[in-house]
Amino acid sequence: MQIQTTLDEKGGRTQSALSIESRSIDYVPLSERHGRLSDQATIWFAGSAQLLSLATGAIGISLGLNLVWTLVGLLVGTVLGTIPVAAHASQGPHLGLPQMVQTRPQFGRYGAIFIWLVAVMVYWGYVVLNVNLMGATAEQLGMSSFTLSGVVLGLLSIVFAIFGYNWLHVGQRYTSIILIAVLAVFVWGISQQVGLAPEQVTFSGSFQFTPFLMVVSASLAYQLSWAFFVSDYSRYMPPTTSHRSIILYTAVGAGAGVFAMEAVGAIAAAFFPKDGLTVALQQSGDLIMPGFGAVLLVAGGIALLIFNGMCVYGGALTLITAMDSVVPTFPTRGLRVKTIAMIGITAATVGVLLPADFINTTFYTILAVLAYLMAPWTAVNLVDYFVVRKGKYSITEIFNPGGIYGYWNWRGILAYTLSFVAMIPFMYLSFYQGPAAVYFGGVDYAFFVGIPVGAVLYWLFCLNLDLKHELATIDVADRHLDAIAKPVV
């Protein structure tokens, strides 16, 4: 892969917000850096406050927990999950690369292929879930049939992904405004006009340890699932962007967005525990004002549509990264469009072939499995960036097949493997219950074990890493990074 830049007709290096994005996994030169910190909040607020988040919010109610303890569990899990997710956002501006390309220094050019395949599976799986839910919601609103709605909305999200970074940011910026207004009306209406049953809002005598920990674990897992995405949407920001500021803005957007929609899902489930998620939401909204439930579904559906575009976009970047590791690839605009179409169309097809109530029956298991696979990666990646290498990488060497990061890095591979193995006894799924999880009454502690194990092991394995040699190589290899960039075609 060659480092590239984009030239416009006048010889400059800017790109119109209305044009199809040229870049994919290649370095973003300083001349193309743009954006504002508030965009990191809005893209993740709307990206999190979409209909899929309802499912996590409803888990506590389905387990017999009352509403107030469900909300506390959701808040604890969301905060714990938001910290590592937001930390990834700072990597984008300082490296100018999408998230998964940055995995090469920790795992090696070939060693990271498994991680990328897992990431592609996560992206693809989310597109399947999103399209399935969009189709079911559109049918519920009487817009069209489940299949036709899923296909049309899936294709619209692919269009957002093709136009790329700027379109996704702008779309979620305006969607955030709509969501904040709608969610504010919902909270006010439920609290001031409708009211909740006393047993749902009491702390005293209503706490149940096992369901509470399951809610914490589920919301933590759900938030962690954004870790693969984050710096894909911050990599055009200027490299002078403050680490603390971008982490804070991302944390506020992602944390507030996911908790808000999870809370709405919990409230809807508390009112209508026997109904499906979107039906319960519509009926809850109609308690405030006839027809307001449909407004809630439409607002959350718009956010879900654009979020689906984000999933297709990130999946394409990750697939190109994997391809480039096998055969050095020139990441043209055409290649990006083709990979977007492949991921988007195949996943949308599966999404409309699944039962319309799929999200109500299978979501928790899928969520947990995906999070198990990514938790060790996020531990290794963050420790490498913030503790071991302290953000100092060679962009040129990341794309050099014979570069300093090598084909295999035993440190990352072994830390990931041992971390995942350490999680197995603590996993609790419908088809597998680890002995430790059973011993603790069915509570899933896997993430609380795997993440610290992966982090500590990777740090220990890197104590003998020759960082002086790396820094000397970086100074030479990246000395004229922007000057040697080539046009994208």
pLDDT 10s digits, 264-284:
999 999 999 988 889 999 999
Q: Tally the C-alpha atoms within 13 A of residue 40's C-alpha that lie toward its C-beta.
A: 35
By the 8 A CB rule, do 108 and 392 touch?
A: no
How far from 178 is each of 97, 184, 268, CA to CA, in Å?
31, 10, 20
Q: Say yes or no to pLDDT of 297 above 80.
A: yes
Q: Say yes or no to pLDDT of 391 above 50.
A: yes
Q: What are 145-172's pLDDT values in tens digits?
A: 999 998 999 899 999 999 999 999 999 9
How far is it, in rounded angstroms, from Cα 143 to Cα 140?
Answer: 8
- Domain chopping of the chain, boundaries: 34-372
Q: What are 352-387's pLDDT values in tens digits?
A: 998 877 666 666 677 677 778 888 999 999 999 999
Q: What is the pLDDT of residue 464?
A: 93
How far is it, in rounded angstroms, from Cα 355 to Cα 357?
Answer: 5
Spatial neighbors of 426 by CB under 8 A, at least 6 apart, are 434, 436, 437, 444, 445, 446, 448, 449, 450
Confidence of residue 488 (pLDDT cuts 50, 70, 90): very low
Q: What is the pLDDT of residue 489?
A: 41
How far is it, in rounded angstroms, from Cα 471 to Cα 452?
Answer: 27
For all residues of the chain together, what is the average pLDDT? 88
How far is it, in rounded angstroms, from Cα 45 to Cα 59?
Answer: 21
Burial 152-165 (b: 16+ CB within 10 A, else e): ebbeebbebbbbbb
And the tokens for 90? 């700072």
Q: What is the pLDDT of residue 14?
A: 46
CATH of domain 34-372: 1.10.4160.10
Q: Can you tell me which residue has the tokens 């010889």?
A: 11
**Residue 448 amino acid letter:** F
| Between 219 and 486, residue with greater pLDDT | 219
Mean pLDDT of 306-333: 89
Q: What are 107-128's pLDDT values in tens digits?
A: 999 999 988 888 888 889 889 9
Burial 469-489 (b: 16+ CB within 10 A, else e): ebeeebeebbeebbeebeebe
Q: What is the pLDDT of residue 221?
A: 84
Q: What is the pLDDT of residue 259?
A: 97
How far is it, in rounded angstroms, from Cα 263 to Cα 68?
Answer: 10
How far from 3 is each of 35, 97, 369, CA to CA, in Å?
21, 11, 35
How far is it, in rounded angstroms, from Cα 306 to Cα 359?
Answer: 19
By the 8 A CB rule, do 224 and 378 touch?
A: yes
Name the strand (E) or helix (H) holding 383.
helix 358-383
Confidence of residue 15 (pLDDT cuts 50, 70, 90): low
By the 8 A CB rule, do 155 and 348 touch?
A: yes
How far is it, in rounded angstroms, from Cα 283 to Cα 272?
Answer: 8
Q: What is the pLDDT of residue 6?
A: 40
Q: Say yes or no to pLDDT of 484 above 70.
A: no
Q: Can you tell me which residue has the tokens 């743009």?
A: 34
Q: What are 189-237's pLDDT values in tens digits?
A: 998 888 888 888 888 877 888 889 889 988 998 898 888 889 999 999 9
Query: In a 3-state reduction of DSSP, which class is residue 25?
Result: coil
| Between 474 and 43, residue with greater pLDDT | 43
Mean pLDDT of 171-189: 95
Burial class of residue 349 in the structure, from the number of CB atoms within 10 Å of its CB (0-12 exposed, 13-18 middle, 19+ buried): middle
How far from 132 is each of 153, 191, 284, CA to CA, in Å?
10, 32, 22
Query: In a 3-state reduction of DSSP, which class is residue 60?
Result: helix
How far from 240 is each of 30, 36, 94, 244, CA to CA, in Å?
10, 12, 7, 12
And the tokens for 295? 């407004």
First to last CA, the chain: 13
Q: Say yes or no to pLDDT of 35 above 60.
A: yes
Spatial neighbors of 26 by CB under 8 A, at least 6 apart, are 1, 2, 3, 4, 331, 488
Please give the share of the chain, as a percent, with pLDDT higher than 90: 57
How far is it, in rounded angstroms, from Cα 310 to Cα 172?
Answer: 10
Q: What are 183-199's pLDDT values in tens digits?
A: 999 999 998 888 888 88
How far is it, in rounded angstroms, from Cα 71 to Cα 68?
Answer: 5
Q: What is the pLDDT of residue 91?
A: 92
Mean pLDDT of 286-308: 95
Q: Say yes or no to pLDDT of 252 above 90.
A: yes
pTM over 0.85: yes
Query: In a 3-state reduction of DSSP, which class is residue 303?
Result: helix
Q: What are 89-99's pLDDT values in tens digits?
A: 999 999 999 98
Burial class of residue 167 in the structure, from the number of CB atoms within 10 Å of its CB (0-12 exposed, 13-18 middle, 19+ buried): buried
Question: Nearest-CA neighbor of 230 among 126, 102, 109, 344?
Answer: 102
